[in-house]
Amino acid sequence: MHILNPETKRSQKYYNSTKGGVDVVDELKGEYSVAKISCRWPLKIFFALMNIAGINSQIIFRDNTNQTISRRLYLKTLGKELTKHFMIQRLQNKKLSISLRQTIMKLTDGVEKPTVAPTPESSDRPKCRFCPKRKNLKTIIRCEMCDVPICKEHTVATCTSCGKNNEIESDIE
């Protein structure tokens, strides 16, 4: 006859009672995953760790703030906040296209890292922020909202990104 060890029985009961958490994590990992198809095992481990880190950070956020938001919204906000610093840093690249510069300004809510003290000749008449470099238009006009140099071609006293905000505010009034 087969005799069961009572200690083994208790450990099996404990395992069975706690394995539900693993199923929940697997379900959450499958719902929104950063994994891409790959045969490289280090990459698969990295993607699995990223998925679990996203789940754990949402649990910590929920416990610390007592706010319950959807996983999708949380992951979008997390991604935006993690990349915001690098987008602001990328704005300092003078060779960035106008459309990309405007998209970054929109995504970062117009926040721009202050530049190092300008040289005397550039502070008198800086170049328009939205003109391509080949135009080399210098201007004395600055946006009233974000204080970036702009030429007459792009705006009337406000740059194009701030002008949209003004239109929304004037519609409300």
Across residues 98-110, what is the average pLDDT? 88
Handedness of CA 9, 12, 16, 21 (dihedral sign): positive
Q: Quick one: pLDDT at residue 160?
A: 65
Give the chain's count of helices (H) and strands (E): 7, 0
Tell me the C-alpha distance between 65 and 12, whole Å. Answer: 36
- Flag whether pLDDT at 109 surpasses 70: yes
Please report which confidence band the pLDDT of residue 120 belongs to, taking 50, 70 and 90 as the band edges.
very low
- Three-class DSSP category at 79: helix
More confident residue, 5 or 155: 155
Number of Cβ atoms within 10 Å of the Cβ of 165: 15
- Flag whether pLDDT at 122 surpasses 50: no
Q: Quick one: pLDDT at residue 40?
A: 93
Of 30-44, 66-80, 125-139, which range is least confident?
125-139
Tell me the C-alpha distance between 11 and 133, whole Å. Answer: 70
Across residues 1-16, what is the average pLDDT? 70
Q: Quick one: pLDDT at residue 87?
A: 92
Number of Cβ atoms within 10 Å of the Cβ of 73: 9
- Flag whether pLDDT at 14 surpasses 90: no
Handedness of CA 71, 72, 73, 74 (dihedral sign): positive
For 68, phi then psi, to 5°, come to: -110, 110
Give the pLDDT confidence of 22-69 residue by residue, as tens digits.
788 888 888 888 888 889 999 999 999 999 999 999 999 999 999 999
Output the average pLDDT for the chain.
80
Q: Quick one: pLDDT at residue 117?
A: 47
Percent of the chain with pLDDT over 70: 78
